[in-house]
Amino acid sequence: MKNFLAIKRKVAYASILMIGFNLCCTNLDETVYDQIPQDQYGQTEGQLNTLIGPLYTGLGGYFSTFELLNCVTDEELAPTRGGDWGEPEWKFMTEHTWPTSFYGFDNLWNWIYSNIAKVNQKIANPGFQSPEAQAELKALRAFYHYEALDNFGNVLISESVGTDSPPQSSRAEVYAFVEKELLDALPNLSTDVRAKYGRISKYVAHMILAKLYLNAEVYTGTPQWAKAIEQCDAIIQSGQFTIATDFLSTFSVNNENSTEIILSTPFDKSQRTGLYLQMSTLHYLHQLTYDLGSAPWNGYCTYAEFYDTFEPDDVRRQMWLTGQIYSSSGEALFDDTQPAILTKEIPSFKMPAGPDARLAGYRSVKYEVERGATFDMSNDFVIYRISDVYLMRGEAHQRLGHLGEALDDVNAVRSKRGVDAFTIMSLDDILAERGRELAWEYHRRQDLIRFGKFENAWGFKPVTQEYLRLFPIPQSQIALNPNLTQNFGYPQ
């Protein structure tokens, strides 16, 4: 059974024990032997798990928060199909014409800072003062601050629980805060990746630092390629993770034992719900393909141009569902009277009703579709994995002119994916390789920005302005906190 279920059981069991003890103890003067004082609870690994484990429930919001926001990239869109998916957000996310009032930015901000607030409460709690507990909590808090600086730029540094509105910090200041918190935490973080599955381990902290340094030039104006390599080295040389030979196994229904995963957020169709990617992307008729409890929503698909970056022999092409739709018994299905054949091309963003619109665009099955699922699936959603580490290190080497080392790292991934090794490689090749390897894992926006491609035209998106690299700070937050000012380029 997955770690988070064990943690939940421990939390429930501990709570039941404490309630039972309190009900039994009616003589307040007697010596109590069967309770652990609050300031002493949390000294063992088991006790600490019952206290810290529930904080990771919030990490599950990573999928639902970024699922929509990924439509700002060249790998995902949700076109209008007749009367379906006609809400304005899908179009303005694709065209980069979003308003500052868009609820998706509120959701992202609230996800980040509500989780930071919960961590701050635990950091101040007497039961969390061991070096190990403090390191894990501060590294988890640093992860959320990292997401804030990446997406919003000049944000709040929140280190305590209080009612005062914290000041707004510059992106460089938040960068320095995240870096220090993670470096300080590293010596006391666990190297036991199985015990810390779905939680912050030493290698998760190295990964966040690697991401921080890889994007340092964007964040602060000063590149830190050598530091990025150093952090990637720490993960690779640990020997704890290996690139999976079977690419799709990392995203299977039972993927918790994948050798690739550095950090994931666990899901379960009945115990911890919230992963429903199959509903967002599959055609209505795929209900019959996978014997699903309800018809999918026929939404997200990929651009033809993005699909075409995959070579014919690339096993990663299997993440896309293409061509004829079949029932689970192998019967070819029809949309109205037309064979239900998914087409690569999407003729326009807003398409008239009919089977041509409903069948436009290849769909993602990177995450194995759980047959018979009613709505939610049990795959754990992968946040960080080792293949990304090799590609990051390869990119950093390339930018430093270490061309041999760069080729070795990128080809370490390509060799597992059924494609020939690069003999010569450009930065554009690396960006394309990252796209093929990490599609729909929600790293693409950051990658496009780092490579200077986010302003480019693609698909239904025109050339846009550089200030859109940052999302606007939600107007609701500016109204609540007078210390906040809007990001450059947006209405003040």
Task: Give the DSSP H/E element, type plus range, for residue 228.
Answer: helix 225-236
Residues 118 and 246 in one domain: yes
Residues 45 and 174 in one domain: yes
**CATH number where 34 lies:** 1.25.40.390
In the chain, the amino acid numbered 425 is M
Domain containing 172 equals 3-268+383-480
Domains of the chain: total: 2
Q: Work out the number of other CB atoms within 10 angstroms of the CB of residue 360.
A: 20
- Look at residue 126 in the predicted model and tell me its pLDDT: 83
Residues 320 and 391 in one domain: no
Per-residue pLDDT of the chain (492 residues; tens, 9 = 90+): 344 444 333 333 333 233 233 333 334 444 443 444 455 555 566 666 777 888 999 999 999 999 999 999 999 999 999 999 999 999 999 999 999 999 999 999 999 999 999 999 999 988 788 999 999 999 999 999 999 999 999 999 999 887 678 899 999 999 999 999 999 999 999 999 999 999 999 999 999 999 999 999 999 999 999 999 999 999 999 999 999 999 999 999 999 999 999 999 999 999 999 999 999 999 999 999 999 999 999 999 999 999 999 999 999 999 999 999 999 999 999 999 999 999 999 999 999 999 999 999 999 999 999 999 999 999 999 999 999 999 999 999 999 999 999 999 999 999 999 999 999 999 999 999 999 999 999 999 999 999 999 999 999 999 999 999 999 999 999 999 999 999 999 998
487 within some domain? no
Residue written as token pair 């899901």 = 267
209 within some domain? yes
- Look at residue 45 in the predicted model and tell me its pLDDT: 65
Work out the angle between the directed axes of helices 103-123 and 61-69 (0-180°, nearest 10).
Answer: 150
Residues 471 and 440 in one domain: yes
489 within some domain? no
User: Mapping DSSP to helix (H, G, I), strand (E, B) and coil, where does residue 460 land?
Assistant: coil
Residues 100 and 28 in one domain: yes
Residues 372 and 387 in one domain: no
Q: Give the pair of three-digit tokens for residue 467.
A: 């200030």
Handedness of CA 420, 422, 423, 429 (dihedral sign): positive
**Residue at which a domain ends, from 314, 347, 377:** 377
486 within some domain? no
User: Mapping DSSP to helix (H, G, I), strand (E, B) and coil, where does residue 77 land?
Assistant: strand
- Look at residue 217 in the predicted model and tell me its pLDDT: 98
- From CA 349, how far away is CA 333, in angstroms rounded? 25
Residues 373 and 387 in one domain: no
**Residue at which a domain ends, from 344, 377, 410:** 377
7 within some domain? yes
- Look at residue 46 in the predicted model and tell me its pLDDT: 67
- Look at residue 16 in the predicted model and tell me its pLDDT: 28
Give the contacts of 55 (CB within 8 A, at least 6 positions apart). 115, 118, 119, 122, 137, 140
pTM recorded for the entire structure:
0.91
Burial class (CB in 10 A: 0-12, 13-18, 19+), 240: middle
- From CA 398, how far away is CA 203, in angstroms rounded? 23
The strand ranges marked E within 354-442 are 363-364, 381-385
Residues 94 and 172 in one domain: yes
Phi then psi for 334, rounded to 5 degrees? -120, 145
Write the Ramachandran bin of 370: left for phi over 0, alpha for psi from -120 to 50, otherwise beta. beta
User: Mapping DSSP to helix (H, G, I), strand (E, B) and coil, where does residue 81 land?
Assistant: strand
- Look at residue 26 in the predicted model and tell me its pLDDT: 37
Residues 247 and 286 in one domain: no
Residues 103 and 187 in one domain: yes
- Give the residues across from 397 on adjacent strands: none
Measured in Å, how far apart are the chain's first and last C-alpha atoms? 50
Phi then psi for 363, rounded to 5 degrees? -110, 160
